Amino acid sequence: MVADREIGASTHTKKSSRVSSRNKRAFGGFVVAALASMTGYFLATKWKEFTTSFSDDDAAGNRRQILLVGDSLTQRGYDSKKGWVSKLASSYVRRADVINRGYSGYNTRWVLDLMKRKPKLFVKKPTLVVVFLGANDAAVNHKREYAVPLEEYVKNMREILNLYKNVPRIVITPPPIIEKDRVQHAMETTAFDTPDRLYQHTEKYAVAAEKVAREMGVGVADAFDTFEKLGGGDLSAYFSDGLHFSEKGEEVVYALIVETIKHTYPWIASEKLSLDAPLHGELAE
């Protein structure tokens, strides 16, 4: 098959370039983080002051809200009790509502347009915003109509994040792609025998997402790198079709976002937020 030849020819390149790519990402992240550290610290301090007072107001009135903006990787996070969005919502029960604005198939261009045309769909004053986009922007071959050029992706990500300038924000990078599983998916669901996503191409978007977040001084949950460190080179167990998460993959994303919140914005961790109403035992005393 065409896909087999393409994937076979690229295997050695992927393996030999992976370490180099990871080293470049680490060095680039260090440089960008150093440049943004003072700004990031200042913003985090101000955000903490803002969020603390805002949370106190919420505890006395409306419940806090955590806004998730993404594609199918976010939308599907509610598909089961083990989905990463479901688990996040459960961890914040009676403390904050988790608002899922994941739109299957959407890229940053379409999400940004929706946010501008229908702003009421999105939370006006969230306690936290999580942006998880890029998997569709990086589409290729028979899904290229979903693709967004890397330069535009960066611009769109900045614009989406800037819609919530005075709010703590976290960017989740798009996860790695398992090309052989995407080929199998294409053969089972379409007339094509080529993958609609490529590992190395998606990695470029993951690197760009991380860079945007660090330059803007917001949190980063590096899903691409996190999954890369799992599975001993075979990540099939973490994905249902080489792109979307299995239950095992959902667990990884949930753990990653919780850890990122605790590390970047510890005052927003679920255990740090007060309940919005007394426990029944207190009322029964």
**Active site (catalytic) residues:** 72, 241, 244
227, 252 contact by CB (below 8 A): yes
**249 CB neighbour count, 10 Å cutoff:** 21
Radius of gyration of the chain (CA): 20
Task: Read off the tokens for 25.
Answer: 């990402």
Residue 169, SS3? strand
| Runs of H (alpha helix) within the chain | 2-60, 72-75, 84-91, 108-117, 150-162, 179-189, 199-215, 223-228, 247-264, 280-283
- Please choose, from the candidates 158, 199, 153, 159, the residue with its C-alpha nearest in 3D space to the C-alpha of residue 176: 199
CA distances in angstroms from 186 to 7, 60, 151, listed in the order given: 14, 51, 28
Within 8 A by CB and 6+ apart from 254, the residues are 84, 87, 88
